[in-house]
Amino acid sequence: MVSVAWETPVSAPVSTCRVVALNAGKLWWESLQRIFAGTRFVLHPPSDKLPPEPAESELAPDNATVLLYRDHSATGQCVAWIRAMRSEGSKAKLVVITNRLRLSVLVRAIQAGADGFLTEDISGVALVQSLELVVAGERVLPGMLGEFIARQGIHPLFRDPAPDIGLSPRESDILKRLAQGESNKVIANALGVSESTVKGAVKAILKKIAAQNHTQAAVWALNEGLLPESDLPKA
């Protein structure tokens, strides 16, 4: 009988990744600490100042610093922060966590250079998985966003900022109503004009915003922040 000696495979060491949480209250910071326990993500102690970033030569591709920016503002304060970080040449991975999905803010954040945009209803496991993807060079977005795009049948989001297309106040009002699902007849009755007048205005609006139909016009309005938050997609 021949005996065979089995060698235990040696696993490659897993590099750690430091995470800095910004705008994090004590309760939120402690929650993150529990979420990252047992993972390779090391939460940096809270501080008024960002710790210095390691030199690029000292960073492995999978060992970048992740900055988590908690944004509860209605106007998207994260966008200015992202632009400032990128203008300073930061190599950190920038991830926004917000309490609510605001489509127009998400678009501007991604255009500014965000690596991820998540909502606070994400589970701890999903957050860790999302950060792993970010560190690996992927961009992560809320799962509900993919469902929204699939439901619309189009991909409206990541384009250059729209130029000033010159919508009149009346056209802007009509566009908002279209995006909220109102028919031409309902809009005409609400504005006290004829349905043919609304049809003509809709035709002009679609041409100005380069939309082919009411659905694309609705998504354009969402992107540009023309709708109230109650009309934005929710989980």
pLDDT at 143: 73
pLDDT at 19: 92
| pTM summary value | 0.59
Comparing 17-141 with 169-231, is the CATH topology the same? no
pLDDT at 164: 54
- What are the per-10-residue average pLDDT scores of the chain (235 residues)? 42 72 87 93 74 47 76 86 91 91 79 91 92 91 64 47 68 84 88 92 87 76 62 43
Topology (CATH level 3) of domain 169-231:
Arc Repressor Mutant, subunit A (1.10.10)
SS3 of the chain: CCCCCCCCCCCCCCCCEEEEEECCCHHHHHHHHHHHCCCCEEECCCCCCCCCCCCHHHCCCCCCCEEEEEECCCCCHHHHHHHHHHHCCCCCEEEEEECCCCHHHHHHHHHHCCCEEEECCCCHHHHHHHHHHHHCCCCECCHHHHHHHHHHCCCCCCCCCCCCCCCCHHHHHHHHHHHCCCCHHHHHHHHCCCHHHHHHHHHHHHHHHCCCCHHHHHHHHHHCCCCCHHHCCCC
pLDDT at 148: 56
Domain ranges across the chain? 17-141, 169-231
Q: In CATH, which superfamily holds the domain spanning 17-141?
A: Response regulator (3.40.50.2300)
